[in-house]
Amino acid sequence: MGVIDIFEKAVEEKGILLNPSVLSDTYVPEKLLFRDEEIGKIARNLAKFFKSDYPDNTLIFGPPGTGKTHAIKMVSRDYNAFAREKGFPSQAVYVNAKDKSYFQVLVELLHSLGIEFPSRGFGVGEAVSALADHLKGLEGTYIFIFDEIDKMKRTSRDNEDPMNALIYRMSRLDELTGELKTAFVVISNRGDIMQRLEYFTRSKFIPEIVYFREYDAREIAEILHDRVEKAFIEGTVSEDAINYLAALIKQGGKDLRWGFRVLKEAAELAKDKLTREEINRAIEVVERNMLQEAIKGLDVTQLLVLYSVALMEDSGNVPRTGHVYSAYKLLCEKLNYPSRTMRHITHFVVPKLETQGLMTVSEKSFGRGKGRSLVYHIDEEPVKILSLIENELAIRLGTTVRHATDEDILRFYREW
């Protein structure tokens, strides 16, 4: 079949999915179900700028997939529309901080404000000064929104935690400008944000806290029904399939974003009717694709550290810091790839893998005289992780390593 034939077939086969964008991560509904209380609390605080008052800074947190990003995007959209309509010189500016360094977040904020600032060659001090100078020359006010702030990237040049640095500087913009012109909102999946901040940051950042609880089973089912009504041809998705997917989300510790991906994939598999069978087949595809996407987003050092943890778990041993680092060093030598220090792995690489949801980290005591150590764990099957990383390393480096047949690795298994 030629390319043109494929295009023509795609046009002819309409399928049962009318509006796939409704199931995308970027879709923002006109109304967010079961979040009136949280949205109202955010909006009432930010509305203080319209009354010549000064809003509190805001901390929004809650588990993934509970509507935090959608809620703040709805509020900021309506805030900006209202300000334009009423002639208020105020604007809400949204920045997603995930996988960005402190400097990169500042540069994106500057660019969103229309400030020309180089992406390279300058430091955070110059970026903060550029922001302060811009604000000094304005009559209006701003609300800065920093989403996924707990997933900021820490670089080897950062002397402090990037999240703490950003909140500290944003909390003190009034000292740099001499006026109260800004308020800011930070959004996180984690509930320990305040505990992670340094004392002087906490003393200035005293936020209005808005918690987004998990949806219950009934709410999940209703949200799925709402999206199905907007996305699919009427009557093409069985009631049983929706309720089944809702139960899987709640019982399996998944979230609605995962559920929307499953629905979108299931629509490709279904002919005339989407049933429980298509849901099950779609789950296999989605789980595999999400893991592949996460692994493709890692650099080589991160891949090798994750591979080392998977090796340890596959061998039936506890992945402790020292043992994982030894396995990592072995891999670097085999692949002729430069290794990083244990400090770099512990402070920069492991937190990245943890925020990506690829591993969990805990501290464990190994008995009297043996001290304590960080212990790593991956929820996925180690063999699946190993195979995916081996394929990715072959693409990136042009060399191969196979855990099942490589003699050096097998010898290392035996030594453990």
Q: Say if CB 392 and CB 303 are below 8 A apart.
A: yes
List Cα–Cα distances, 112 to 27, 93, 197, 199, in angstroms. Answer: 21, 7, 26, 30
More confident site: 371 or 279: 279
**Torsion sign across C-alpha atoms 386, 389, 395, 397:** negative
- Please give the average per-residue pLDDT across 136-146, as a whole number: 91
pLDDT for 274-320, tens place per residue?
999 999 999 999 998 989 999 999 999 999 999 999 988 888 888 88
pLDDT more than 90, % of the chain: 63
Please give the Cα distance from 320 to 309 (Å, whole number).
Answer: 9
Q: What is the pLDDT of residues 208-220, one digit of tens each?
A: 999 999 999 999 9
Token duo for residue 318: 């506890």
pTM of the full predicted structure? 0.81
Chain mean pLDDT for the chain: 90
Distance CA 389, CA 383 (A): 10
**Inter-helix orientation angle 102-112/124-136, to 10°:** 30
- If one counts every other C-beta atom within 10 angstroms of the C-beta of residue 23, the result is 22
Neighbours of 339 (CB within 10 A): 16
> What are the angstrom distances between the C-alpha of 312 and each of 376, 379, 386, 400?
10, 13, 11, 19
Residue 70 has pLDDT above 60, yes or no: yes
- What domains sit in the chain, N to C, each tagged with a CATH number? 3-22+216-294 (1.10.8.60), 35-211 (3.40.50.300), 298-415 (1.10.10.10)
Q: Which two tokens stand for residue 414?
A: 């035996």
Tokens standing for residue 282: 């779609």
Average pLDDT over residues 48-53: 91
Mean pLDDT for 65-82 is: 96
Q: What is the mean pLDDT of residues 341-353?
A: 90
pLDDT digits (tens, 9 = 90+) for 154-198: 876 777 889 999 999 999 999 988 888 899 999 999 888 899 899
Give the confidence band of 92 by pLDDT, cuts at 50, 70, 90: very high
2-21 pLDDT tens trace: 777 666 665 666 689 999 99
Categorize the per-residue pLDDT at 401 as very low, low, confident or very high, splitting at 50, 70 and 90: confident
Overall size of the chain counted in residues: 416
User: So what's the pLDDT on residue 352?
Assistant: 84
How many other β-carbons are positioned within 10 Å of the β-carbon of residue 289? Answer: 12
